[in-house]
Amino acid sequence: MSKPCIFGLLRLFWQKSVDCGFRPVDGHFYSFLLDYCNSVQWENPFPLSTRLAERKTGLTRKTIAEVRKRLQDADMLRFSEGEKNSSTPIYQLPLKNENGFWFPTETKMETKKETKKGENRDGWFPTETKMETKKETILKNIKNTKKKKTTSKKSGSPSIFEESELIQNNKPKKSPEFRAPTIDDVYNFFRTQDADKRLKDWKRSATIYFTNYDSVGWIDKFGRKITNWQAKAIEWIFKDEMSEQKQRVKNESNEDRFSRRRGTDPTAVGRKEIKGTF
């Protein structure tokens, strides 16, 4: 199963934000979808109930529907409605290859009955396979090894040492331990993301980011241990940038409204028909 590229999707979102008119709430919801997809082991497409999305993001059902439509129109996700009390809504994130981003041809999650064994779907959609537990996989490998041994002329069933070695080889590999970054690591990473050009005071933003997570032992708002602080930093920079952009637009709007109220036009005429600035 191909995993969505989180760094590529965040960069794609930023590139489309101006042309598609994304709002800060769109970035907030899309970041939640990426985080949720990560929490379900990058299952894509993945089911997500609207009630759970409301509780996790703090957004209303109406706002989620509006954000979802903007993201779908911009080809940032695909979504299929669920049926009340029978099925859950399905979300799908685009995948990346050498030609760019693309969506699998089918968005609905199929059951075992709908997909025959060995049958391929149209397009680039990954082939459906039967999900097996780790224990079933190990036992299956042991069974196949026993069958090969019995057909061999040299020996019969595998020895205890061979079985234990096979089980040892099938154990999942441990992920590398998380190393908390220093403040200098954070500064350097912010510069690689052009934060000094995108933010008004990038160093202050980087310091707040480091203090926010370092003070709680690098745990996110859901109580989970952070394993990729760079992804969190990219999300942090994007949110600060969208917030500054929104504040800039608000300030410009207030200045225009104040100047019109003041009457700075030299040709303006007052109540007593006196021309000039007043």
| Residue 262, domain member (yes or no) | no
Rounded CA gap, 239 and 232, in Å? 11
Query: What does the DSSP 8-state code read for residue 219?
Result: B
| Residue 66, domain member (yes or no) | yes
| Residue 167, domain member (yes or no) | yes
Same domain flag for 48 and 1: yes
- Enclosing domain of residue 27: 1-105
Same domain flag for 27 and 63: yes
Same domain flag for 63 and 163: no
Same domain flag for 158 and 218: no
What's the average pLDDT block by block, 10 residues per block, for the chain (278 residues)? 76 84 89 89 87 91 91 88 80 84 59 42 40 62 66 52 60 70 94 91 94 92 89 92 90 75 57 53
- Residue 260 has φ and ψ, to the nearest 5°, of -65, -35
Same domain flag for 141 and 96: no
| Residue 274, domain member (yes or no) | no
**CATH code of residue 64:** 1.10.10.10
| Residue 118, domain member (yes or no) | no
Rounded CA gap, 195 and 62, in Å? 33
Query: What does the DSSP 8-state code read for residue 133?
Result: -
CA dihedral 22, 26, 31, 34 (to 10 degrees): -90
pLDDT in the model for residue 212: 93
Same domain flag for 52 and 87: yes
CA distances from 250 to 64, 72, 188, 233, 256 (A): 24, 27, 31, 26, 10
pLDDT in the model for residue 118: 45
Rounded CA gap, 136 and 165, in Å? 16
Same domain flag for 184 and 165: no
Same domain flag for 160 and 185: no
- Residue 239 has φ and ψ, to the nearest 5°, of -65, -40
The number of CA neighbours under 13 Å toward the Cβ of 31 is 18
| Residue 267, domain member (yes or no) | no
pLDDT in the model for residue 206: 93
pLDDT in the model for residue 161: 52
Residue after which a domain boundary falls, among 122, 152, 172: 172
| Nearest of 39, 20, 127 to residue 91 by alpha carbon | 39
Same domain flag for 97 and 144: no
Beta bridge partners, 100, equal 97
Residue after which a domain boundary falls, among 115, 150, 172: 172
| Residue 226, domain member (yes or no) | yes
| Residue 46, domain member (yes or no) | yes
Same domain flag for 16 and 100: yes
Same domain flag for 19 and 55: yes
Number of domains in the chain: 3
For tokens 């019969």, the residue is 156
pLDDT in the model for residue 208: 95
Residue after which a domain boundary falls, among 172, 197, 230: 172
Same domain flag for 168 and 185: no
